[in-house]
Structure 1
Amino acid sequence: MASDRLTALRALLADTADEMVNPSILQPAEVFLDLAGEDIRRRLFMTTSAFGEDLCLRPDFTIPVCLAHRATGRSEPVTYGYLGPVFRQRRSGSAEFLQAGVEWIGHADTAATDAAALSRALQAAAALGLTQPRIRVGDATLFSALVEALPLSPAWRRRLIAWFGEPERLSGALAKLAGGQGLAGTTGPTGLSRALAGVEPEEAHRIVADMLGAAGLSLAGGRTADEIADRLRDTGTLSAGDTEAQAAAGVLERYLAIKTPLLEAERTVQAFAETEGVDMSEALAGFRARVSAFEAAGVPLADTAFAADFGRRLDYYTGLVFELYDPARPDTAQTIGGGRYDKLLSLLGAPQPVPAIGFSVWLDRFGIETGIGGAA
């Protein structure tokens, strides 16, 4: 019965977490508009408080849990569990559905915590009746290491890393890179864009704002001076016919095509790096440590696939990502998804990066709806 499976999941969450939490259903909308990605932003249920503050119904738990953690001022490692309703506009199905999950915040041993997250996610799936899920993992760290090892400008590196996990945008950027185009799609930079490409973003913002002010020009189309400066910097980072950059695009495309069993992934990526003449040794050492931690935690490595192009459409994910699927329903979306997001706490105001990882269970994909067993 659904209620029995939910009871088993509750027990697992309580056993895993230091504290079970239930962040407010009404959340500050600005945080999600800034950080949550286009897919979530366009699905928000928005409202406005009596004091003019933009609010939204809680669309997921990760950001609200991190906001609540920041509010406590705690600095020691802590593990939070949750189970409750979230709200998103959807093409089909209820706009209110249940999510459960765990967030590990502040744990320094990233390999061990990565393994704990995937191991507990597998236990959560088993508690809900999915005992042999199909497992897929990816690694943003490996992609970032490859980008940093290639002869690319800082702007190209920044943009490619930011777009990892967004296949359409990343593919389009690589096509421009291969064709000798700037990020904005121009075939050659102007003198101004070349000059701005050589300065820090903040200085470029100031220069453009001063130029617009001195010329008495008004902005059109809703663009800001900062956005114009960023676009000019991007167009100035690559000249048409830059053969090194074009070769780099080919290297990245060959890397992103790698799909292999996890047991073979380190060897495959190492062979790729040697063939392409790039140094990914530090990232591969971390990858190796994680796989060893997976094995120690009982993760079925033989049933786990690695995909080099698998990432999240959210800029704050920094390392491992994983998804669990029901092999009996190959056309359905992930049932459980998780990943490492070491940048998120900093983006929410923490004075320095805080290691963090978590997973979420989509309970409606297990046939468990709001209201069952007093869940909602």
Structure 2
Amino acid sequence: MSNSDMDAGSLASAAESRALADRLQTLFGEAGFQPVDPPVLQPADVFLDRSGEDIRRRMYVFSDPGGAELCLRPDLTIPTCLHYLEEHPKADKPVKLTYRGLAFRYQSSAPWPMREFTQVGVEQIGECEASESCEEADAAILELALRAVEASGLASYRLEMGDLALFGALVDGLDIPATWAERLKRHFWRPDYFRELLLRLADQEALAASGPDLPGLFSALGALDGVEAKALIEEVLTLAGISPVGGRSTREIAERLLEQAADAGAQALPKDIVALIDGFLAISGTPDEALAKIRELTKAAGLSGGSLGEAMARLERRFERLEAAAPDFSKAHFATSFGRNMEYYTGFVFEFRTQLAGKTVNVAGGGRYDTLLETLGAPGPVPAIGCAIGVERLARAVAENAKGAGR
């Protein structure tokens, strides 16, 4: 192919992407979502603290002449939430917002190198006062995302779903230290690290060897509460000139050191609890299949009531609403281990996946994030759910699917 052919192909692809973004924006507007346009430049710490290490390593971060650390927005959910809080500091008004704009993060695993891409998405904030209305909001956002993906012309895709709140309810019902339960929940969305953590907590020798060889420091920490201990470690790291490593802040390094010190004197997780967690996270299938397997496992473990029973009831209501909104649920798949790659998700999550250039890629995804706005300055938790679509990736997938089908 000549350079001119490649350029023409690139221009056609760009034109198709713009046309697709126009259609998506129109669809979301007709669904009652109001457009917003958050700034491209964002405070870096907001993302560094809330998006997880995977995203941090791929962000574009820099300091302005005044010394402020900024970044090019790596996605538009957090900027949209910040915009909402500027307009409604008390977070007391339910809104439906839609956006269209560039996001910036390096994506080496994509079928082609990507550093900037267009996101079109929606965020529904404060729209569920009661539990059942939250499931209705979940179903409505997923149904809207489904309409958007199908309106693009993508015929071949798979809908992956999960629920972080379901795993959280399971862990809360286990007889394990509360600090370990919180750690397991906090790292659930990081599969490799989560597995490493679970194995370490189940290994008595590994726990005994996990404490850092800093007896003087940890003797001093023993007389302090958690906040004071963390502050002391941060100060030691700063005085020692230890900078953030691998995307971690000094605060996270301090938390990790404290966790290791606590682990050194703890009893390992019992094998039956590890087996229960492993069995739970191995469940997948159609929504009906997954529900049946979860009921069987939790009933056998004597955990079918309480907060887990409530989480199961919410999941069942959500599936009922989704089946009513989208009768063809044959492309839906639920996995208890699925959590997406953003740290701020708290409940129901989903992705639309397809094949592109021989790889499985995510073309749209979202989920519930009921604690994010509080961490950004809201006076309390605010129920919220959203979805973002990667326009260029979806447009290319549509074109490749059409080519493969011979159209």
TM-score band, normalised by shorter chain: 0.7 to 0.9
Q: Given the alignment of the two structures, is residue 97 of structure 1 paired with residue 117 of structure 2, yes or no?
A: yes
Distance 2:269 2:323 in 1: 40
What residue identity is the alignment partner of 2:74?
A: P
TM-score for the superposition, normalised by structure 2? 0.79
Counterpart mapping for 1:116-127 below 5 A: 116-127=140-151
**Are 1:271 and 2:288 an aligned pair?**
no
Whether 1:303 aligns to 2:331 is yes
CA contact (8 A) 2:33 2:122 kept: no
Structure 1 partner of 2:75 = 60
Flag the 1:183–1:107 CA change in 2: closer, same or farther, 3 A. farther
Contact 1:178–1:250, Cα closer than 8 Å, also in 2: no
Q: For 2:50 and 2:251, locate their aligned partners in 1 and report how far apart those are by CA, in whole Å.
A: 21
Range 139-148 or range 190-199, more displaced: 190-199
Give secondary structure in 1 for the equivalent of 2:361: coil
Q: Which residue of 2 aligns with 1:357?
A: 385
Tell whether the 8 Å contact from 1:149 to 1:278 is kept in structure 2 after alignment: yes
TM-score, scaled relative to structure 1? 0.85
* Correspondence for 1:46: 61
Could you tell which deviates more after superposition, 242-251 or 96-105? 242-251
Provide runs of 4+ in structure 1 moved above 6 Å: 187-199, 206-210
The aligned counterpart of 1:173 is: 197
- CA–CA distance in structure 2, aligned partners of residues 82 and 47 of structure 1: 25
Question: Is residue 262–residue 304 contact of structure 1 (8 Å, CA) maintained in 2?
Answer: yes
Report the 3-state secondary structure (helix = DSSP H, G, I; strand = E; otherwise coil) of the residue aligned with 1:334: strand
Residue by residue over 1:205-231, the C-alpha shift from the partner in whole angstroms, topping out at 9 and shown as x without a partner, is 478799x8xxxx964645869954763
Quote the Cα distance in structure 2 between the aligned partners of 1:44 and 1:315: 15
Residue of structure 2 in register with 1:115 after alignment = 139
Alpha-carbon distance in structure 2 between the residues aligned to 1:9 and 1:128: 8
CA deviation string 1:282-317 (max 9, x = no partner): 111111111112122226333211111100333321
Residue deviations 1:344-370 (CA, integer Å, cap 9, x gap): 10110111100011111111112369x
State the match for 2:152 in structure 1: 128
Relative to structure 2, which stretch is displaced further, 191-200 or 66-75? Answer: 191-200
The answer as to whether partners of 1:187 and 1:239 remain within 8 angstroms in 2 is no
Distance in 1 between residues matched to 2:154 and 2:300, nearest whole Å = 40
Residue in 1 aligned with 2:7?
A: none
Point out where structure 1 has 5 or more consecutive residues left out of the alignment: 370-376
Aligned partner letter, 1:144:
G
For 1:36 and 1:248, the matched residues in 2 are separated by 29
Which runs of 5 or more structure 2 residues have no equivalent in the other structure? 1-14, 245-249, 398-407
Residue 231 (structure 1) aligns with: 257
CA distance in 2, matches of 1:183, 1:345: 38
Aligned to 2:210: 185
Contact 2:212-2:260 within 8 A present in 1 as well: no
Q: CA deviation at 1:48?
A: 2.6
| Deviation, structure 1 residue 195 | 11
3-state DSSP of counterpart to 1:86: strand
* Structure 1 position 149 matched with structure 2 position 173: yes
